[in-house]
Structure 1
Amino acid sequence: MTQDRYASLGFQNRRSNGLLAPIMWLGGLIAAVAALTVGAILAVFTAAAVAVIALFASVLVFFAGLAVRARRKVTVKARRADDVIEATKVGDTWVTYGWERQGR
């Protein structure tokens, strides 16, 4: 009577299936080893992808730094060329040229 009560609750007795149990255990072991192998291979590919992304990002930052440095040098040279103001004395007053920027 006690077994009927447990069976109605969903509990079942463990039964030894003889020769089938070791085969199932071996199948589970093979499946676990296969899952671990696939996981390890995916981890290696993920690490390689992260390394490649980091390499490309560092190259991108390097070239961006070169571009910013080159732009600063060009703008400094352009400003020095624009700072020249010519002045001539006409009568009692000075007339200056070069205040207006080109291209406006």
Structure 2
Amino acid sequence: MGCKTPLFGIKSLTFEIYEYKIIKGDESMFEKLKLKKQYKKCLLEIEQLEAKRARPQAAIVEAILTNSTPSDDDTDYFNMYTQEINKRRERLREIKAKLDNV
């Protein structure tokens, strides 16, 4: 009967250590899933911004091909969308770096 007490103590200690590793592993796994979700969201935002940038880009190219001056609105929109895309790409690089470290 005295033997069972140390066994339960050892099993309990082993279980607590195992449980800690699982919880610690789950935290990093959760962080990884969160970063992957942010990465996908950022990619989607970039695709949407590139689609919006396509119209002013086409207008600028057309103006260049016809040797005319592109509209100020088109160049402003093109520059605005390009800046936003560059910001998202920088964020994408940051997320990728964090994802590689997790």
TM-score, scaled relative to structure 1 = 0.52
Q: How does 1:8-87 map to 2 (within 5 A)?
A: 18-76=1-59
Q: CA RMSD of the aligned region, Å?
A: 2.2
Identical counterparts, % of pairs: 5
Q: Distance in 2 between matches of 1:42 and 1:81?
A: 56
Higher-Rg structure is 1
Count of residues paired in the alignment: 66
Greater strand fraction, Structure 1 or Structure 2: 1
State the alpha-carbon separation in 2 of the partners of residues 69 and 60 from structure 1: 14
Going by fraction, where is helix more abundant, 1 or 2? 2
Residue identity opposite 2:17 in structure 1: A
TM-score with structure 2 setting the length: 0.53
Q: Return the alpha-carbon distance in structure 1 between the equivalents of residues 27 and 55 of structure 2.
A: 42
C-alpha separation in 2, matches of 1:34 and 1:61: 41
Q: Any idea what the Cα deviations from partners look like across 1:11-63, whole Å, max 9, x if unmatched?
A: xxxxxxx4321111100110111111111111111110011111111111111
